[in-house]
Amino acid sequence: MKQAGLDLGSVNTKLVVVENGERIYSRVVPSRFDSVQAGITLLKTYSEEYGVKPEKLVVTGYGRVNFPEGRVITEITCQGRGCHAYFPDYAYILDLGGQDAKVIKKNAEGKIGQFIMNDKCAAGTGRFLDIILKGLDLTSEELNLATEATPMPINSMCTVFAESEVITMLAKGIPKPEVVAGLFKSTAKRLANFVESVGHPECLIFTGGGAHYSLLVRFLERELKGNVVIPPEPELTAAYGAALLA
């Protein structure tokens, strides 16, 4: 039996199909302000490629309640299930998505015991980093240099004010790598405080698109004084969990 998990996210929509617990298909497309339509397109594409629709479907993410088919399960539960499949011994999860950040604590069986969300503004989300990094127009060399640069302190965590602060630093001639290092350090500090409001993990599972920023991972480990592990394709974890729950 083929089971599908569809994660209708604010930035990207993800489809994962599993068979006998093993992932056999995955695809990510931009949501483009209509994650429901993106999800319908993903399922149609899969059906056309394989000639059959998945027998079971679980839908999660922001657009889940408006999707015309499938069983609806929250992204908290799906994220916990997907992460448990990869890291059954670790309890704490940080999910850094485009629209919000979540901290989830699961037990030894993978059940959710506690969670908190930050969805009031862009600060502390993947969107915050994407906006400012895009504005910096970084080269790959500048991004690599940031790993060894001295971080410049960035005091504002509001996206608008932080962007203004970054522009002021660059106008003063501060090198981009130092500004970028400061941006990641300040974000890591905010995320570490967010995680520690739930607990103090020795090892943290980091998911979502934000987990691709290796410099953020490095600063997060320093702030937490612990290890950070990342699942394969961390933006797919909730969709994978949804497929397993199907």
- Are 92 and 105 in contact by the 8 Å Cβ rule? The answer is yes
DSSP bridge partners of 63: none
pLDDT of 121 higher than 60: no
Instruction: Please report where in the chains the tokens 């998911």 appear, as a residue.
Output: 207
Instruction: Please report where in the chains the tokens 């089971």 appear, as a residue.
Output: 3
- Residues in the chain, overall count: 246
pLDDT of residue 235: 95
Architecture label for domain 88-230: 2-Layer Sandwich (3.30)
pLDDT of 120 higher than 60: no
Report domain extents, the chain: 1-87+232-246, 88-230
What CATH number has the domain spanning 1-87+232-246? 3.30.420.40
Query: The whole model's pTM is what?
Result: 0.87
**Going by C-beta distance under 8 Å and a sequence separation of 6 or more, which residues neighbour residue 93?**
79, 80, 83, 102, 103, 104, 105, 106, 204, 205, 206, 207
Same-fold call for 1-87+232-246 versus 88-230? yes
**Going by C-beta distance under 8 Å and a sequence separation of 6 or more, which residues neighbour residue 88?**
108, 110
pLDDT confidence band for 156 (50 / 70 / 90): low
**Going by C-beta distance under 8 Å and a sequence separation of 6 or more, which residues neighbour residue 109?**
none
DSSP per residue, 127-153: HHHHHHHHHHT--HHHHHHTTTSPPPP
Instruction: Please report where in the chains the tokens 């937490």 appear, as a residue.
Output: 224
233 φψ region: left (φ > 0), alpha (ψ -120 to 50), beta (else): left
Closest CA to 117 of 103, 105, 129: 103
> Average pLDDT for residues 147-175, to the nearest whole number?
75
pLDDT confidence band for 233 (50 / 70 / 90): very high
Q: Write out pLDDT tens, residues 62-99.
A: 889 999 999 999 999 999 999 999 999 999 999 988 77
Helix (H, G, I), strand (E, B) or coil at 3: strand
Q: Which of 31-40, 83-92, 121-130, 222-231 bottoms out in mean pLDDT, i.e. has the lowest?
A: 121-130
pLDDT of residue 165: 77
Q: How far apart are CA 126 and CA 101, in angstroms?
A: 8
| Residue 171 amino acid letter | A
